[in-house]
Structure 1
């Protein structure tokens, strides 16, 4: 698979097969992903990978907390701007509507929507869960570096026939995650990521979100044609 195909075929997978991923595959992905760019070569990313029994224990801990704290522990950063304006607001709204349409959940069925969203906290059944962290003293530039590292992981996963779903939704459980992973005080959680083999039969995985036209986001100057 070339890079173009990896980019074109990457989706946010929300249903995975109960099929383990070999440790060596994760090692290869991370060993290659460390070549991702970072300003000044700071390489500010930190990643924790859970599978097997540790993943099962972590998810059990989250389930016990969710019954007491259904909306989580709050976040340490804004996942979206407090006042999201158009066209970004409209894009987010349509993404949600299109997602729930794949599984036949209308807008007024709040319970079913909450139930589907809560699948985030099971890693959508993926056999591997990753947590991407960063030193609290890092700035916006280093957060961008971390995002590039995550994208590199996702594309390398596609090369190996795997799918992923980046999940900032995990930010609402940052305290429990920090405790489970034994993160030092100067390290914070940025995002989770589900990784595994996609369930091709799951309707929710048929979603292909729209993208803006090139003219909406790119300006090219100085070319003859």
Structure 2
């Protein structure tokens, strides 16, 4: 599998099998992803991977916690504008449609949202944290690490789902992970083997036509 094939194969999976990937495979992916580009070679990521009892304890603590308010608990800018609002709306509608959840069925939608807090049943939960003194450039580095990790997972036949959701419970997660003072959770990643029989995994998100965002000059 080459990089282009991995890019096209990667997608957000929201239902997993209970089978746990081998520790050596997970460790190798987490290590290799650290070859990601990093401005000034700061390598600002701090990575924690959990499975088994440690993961169960963390999920139980989050289930009892109240979500945080404010910008740390959100993934999108307020009052999204076009074309981003329509893209997000379409994605949400397509996702709930795979589950047969109607737009007006708010309890069912909230229940599905809550599945984020279970890593969608993935046997491995990964948290990437960062020193809060870091800036936008270092958060960009985190994104490059994340993409590298997800492509490495595809190479291994594994599935992932990147989740900004965990910032809603950042304080609880930081306590459970015993993060150093001044560190905060940037995002989580569900990792495992895809449950190909799950209806939600039939979702295929669209991509905007390059004409909407690509500008080639001098070619």
For this structure pair, what is the TM-score category when the shorter chain's length is used for normalisation? over 0.9
- In 1, Cα distance between the equivalents of 2:218 and 2:162? 37
2:69 aligns to what?
A: 74
- In 2, Cα distance between the equivalents of 1:155 and 1:53? 27
2:17 aligns to what?
A: 17
2:3 aligns to what?
A: 3
Note the C-alpha offset of 1:99. 0.3
The aligned length equals: 218
Structure 1, residues 109-143: CA drift from partner, whole Å, max 9, x if none?
11111111110000000000001111111100000
1:110 aligns to what?
A: 106
Q: Note the residue ranges of structure 2 that are not aligned, 5 or more in a row.
A: none
Note the C-alpha offset of 1:3. 1.0
Q: 1:87 aligns with which of 83, 86, 89?
A: 83
1:122 aligns to what?
A: 118
Contact 1:75 1:173 in 2 (8 A): no
- In 1, Cα distance between the equivalents of 2:102 and 2:127? 32
**For structure 1, which segment, 56-65 or 123-132, has the greater mean C-alpha deviation from structure 2 after superposition?**
56-65
- In 2, Cα distance between the equivalents of 1:109 and 1:199? 25
1:209 aligns to what?
A: 205
2:167 aligns to what?
A: 171
Note the C-alpha offset of 1:83. 2.5
Q: Quote the RMSD (CA, aligned, Å).
A: 1.1
Q: TM-score, normalised by structure 2?
A: 0.97
Q: Note the residue ranges of structure 1 that are not aligned, 5 or more in a row.
A: none
- In 2, Cα distance between the equivalents of 1:48 and 1:218? 36
- In 2, Cα distance between the equivalents of 1:183 and 1:28? 22
3-state SS, counterpart of residue 195 of structure 1: strand
1:183 aligns to what?
A: 179
1:133 aligns to what?
A: 129
Note the C-alpha offset of 1:82. 1.5
Structure 1, residues 39-63: CA drift from partner, whole Å, max 9, x if none?
1111111111011110111112222
1:161 aligns to what?
A: 157
